[in-house]
């Protein structure tokens, strides 16, 4: 039995499959403050992500430019859609914290919107936009590689609906896609257009951003297509972990071979892995803030303990907290605060 940090049991029979109704009262599990992240005076944060060494990569712009790189279009019915392109090119700064500030790289004329950033070998960076239009004359190029000086090296197509992007230390790029990227939107997936790049749900790209591997399965809509949405992705140099649709298996990809474990979780937006344990964080809905520690069985994951994640002072996580899994750690980013949780310390 694994006890919560306050000594309260938060477990069920570890030999039973994971069930949502096995735990009623959840012990609080506090995260650990790792660092305080700041930009230059007047800068605001556009996005933050974690690299393969556990470093934090953050993109900043002037406050007046934030609306340009988060541009959205509202249609006549009042529905709002994120734009692939920035409303206008802006000057940005990419910072790396490890955990102290290690580098600042200026980027001129950033033209993508709704971005994520990852480190690339040699001090470079990948900036990827979440959305990508397909057109007969060619799709948007929503992935830009910069060198260590912030100069554009190349641009590429990652496809539409990018929900997660993480790189390895050798520059392999892994992308996970949400449902519109799998089934098609923004011109993709129609009879007269191209199959969505993200149709497999998870795609690996080479350091040159050429497709190198994709999750096996049939076309979207067929029963043998295994991924409708990649909800959580955790990339290491050794393997890749993923949690996809509700009720889908926890997935491990190693050298192109997929291993999976069934589970009954309703949702997970981030996961960490430290064999034989995995930690799954639910970041939305009624399960928001719930952390599940589970053990890998032969073909299922089995409950070890469940907790409610809180800040070091016991307060709940803030609603805007962004949670990222890398290897055995979960990283919690909110405002200018960076917190961590390592699942090995819970399981021990």
Sign of CA dihedral 317, 117, 69, 36: positive
Share of the chain above pLDDT 70, in %: 89
**pLDDT over 50 (residue 14):** no
Cα diameter, the chain: 62
Q: What is the pLDDT of residue 76?
A: 81
**pLDDT over 80 (residue 273):** yes
The CA dihedral of 104, 110, 113, 114, to the nearest 10 degrees, is: -10
Q: What is the pLDDT of residue 247?
A: 64
Q: What is the pLDDT of residue 6?
A: 37
**pLDDT over 50 (residue 337):** yes
Return all residues near 201 (Cβ < 8 A) that are at least 6 apart.
Answer: 176, 177, 182, 215, 217, 225, 226, 227, 228, 229, 230, 244
User: Mean per-residue pLDDT for 186-208?
Assistant: 95
* Among 72-86, 221-235, 331-345, the least confident range: 221-235
Q: What is the pLDDT of residue 263?
A: 85
Q: What is the pLDDT of residue 266?
A: 72
**pLDDT over 70 (residue 251):** yes
Q: Which residue has the higher pLDDT, 11 or 182?
A: 182
Share of the chain above pLDDT 90, in %: 76
Q: And the tokens for 178? A: 């949400």
Q: What is the pLDDT of residue 218?
A: 54
**pLDDT over 50 (residue 184):** yes
Sign of CA dihedral 288, 327, 322, 72: negative
Return all residues near 85 (Cβ < 8 A) that are at least 6 apart.
Answer: 71, 111, 112, 113, 129, 140
**pLDDT over 60 (residue 339):** yes
User: Mean per-residue pLDDT for 41-61?
Assistant: 96
* Among 150-164, 252-266, 318-332, the least confident range: 252-266
Gap between the Cα atoms of 305 and 24, Å rounded: 11
Q: And the tokens for 95? A: 């910072």
User: Mean per-residue pLDDT for 316-326?
Assistant: 95
Q: Are β-strands 301-310 and 27-30 bridged in parallel, bridged antiparallel, or unpaired?
A: parallel
Task: Report pTM.
Answer: 0.90
**pLDDT over 60 (residue 10):** no
Gap between the Cα atoms of 171 and 151, Å rounded: 17
Q: In what order do the strands lie in the sheet with 143-146?
A: 115-120, 124-129, 143-146, 152-156
Cis peptide before 143 (omega within 30 of 0): no
Average pLDDT, the chain: 89
Q: What is the pLDDT of residue 78?
A: 81
Nearest CA-CA partner of 65 in 112, 127, 132: 112
Q: What is the pLDDT of residue 22?
A: 42
Q: Are β-strands 290-296 and 277-282 bridged in parallel, bridged antiparallel, or unpaired?
A: antiparallel
Q: What is the pLDDT of residue 311?
A: 96
Q: Are β-strands 290-296 and 337-342 bridged in parallel, bridged antiparallel, or unpaired?
A: unpaired
CB-CB contact of 201 with 213 (8 Å)? no
**pLDDT over 70 (residue 15):** no
Gap between the Cα atoms of 33 and 346, Å rounded: 16
Gap between the Cα atoms of 279 and 271, Å rounded: 5
Gap between the Cα atoms of 200 and 158, Å rounded: 13
What distance, in Å, lies between the first and last C-alpha atoms of the chain? 11
Q: Where are the domains of the chain?
A: 1-30+234-348, 38-230
User: Mean per-residue pLDDT for 216-232?
Assistant: 68
């Amino acid at each position: 039995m694994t006890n919560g940090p306050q000594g309260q049991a938060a477990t069920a029979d570890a030999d039973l499959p994971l069930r949502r109704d096995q735990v009623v009262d959840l012990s609080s599990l506090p995260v650990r403050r790792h660092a305080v992240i700041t930009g230059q005076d007047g800068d605001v944060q556009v996005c933050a992500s974690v690299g393969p060494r556990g470093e934090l990569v953050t993109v900043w712009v002037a406050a007046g430019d934030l609306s340009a790189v988060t541009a959205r279009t509202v249609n006549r019915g009042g529905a709002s859609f994120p734009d692939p392109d920035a409303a206008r090119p802006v000057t940005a700064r990419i910072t790396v914290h490890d955990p102290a500030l290690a580098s600042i790289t200026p980027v001129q004329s950033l033209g993508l919107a709704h971005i994520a950033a990852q480190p690339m070998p040699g001090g470079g960076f990948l900036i990827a936009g979440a959305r990508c239009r397909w057109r007969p004359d060619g799709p948007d190029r929503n992935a830009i590689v910069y060198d260590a000086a912030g100069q554009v090296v190349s641009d590429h197509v990652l496809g539409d609906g990018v929900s997660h992007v993480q790189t390895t230390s050798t520059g392999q790029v892994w992308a996970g896609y949400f449902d519109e990227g799998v089934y098609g939107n923004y011109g993709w997936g129609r009879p007269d257009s191209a199959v969505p790049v993200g149709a497999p749900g998870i795609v690996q790209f080479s350091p040159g951003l050429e497709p190198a591997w994709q999750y096996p399965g049939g076309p979207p809509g067929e029963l043998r297509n295994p991924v409708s949405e990649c909800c959580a992705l955790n990339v290491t140099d050794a393997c890749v972990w993923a949690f996809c649709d509700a009720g889908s298996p926890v997935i491990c990809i190693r050298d192109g071979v997929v291993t999976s474990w069934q589970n009954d979780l309703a949702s997970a937006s981030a996961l960490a892995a430290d064999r034989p344990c995995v930690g799954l964080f639910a970041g939305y809905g009624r399960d928001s803030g719930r952390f599940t520690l589970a053990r890998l069985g032969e073909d299922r994951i089995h409950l070890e303990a469940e907790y409610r994640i809180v800040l070091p002072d016991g307060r709940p996580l803030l609603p805007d907290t962004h949670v990222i899994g890398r290897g055995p750690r979960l990283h919690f980013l909110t405002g200018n605060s960076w917190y961590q949780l390592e699942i090995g310390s819970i399981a021990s």
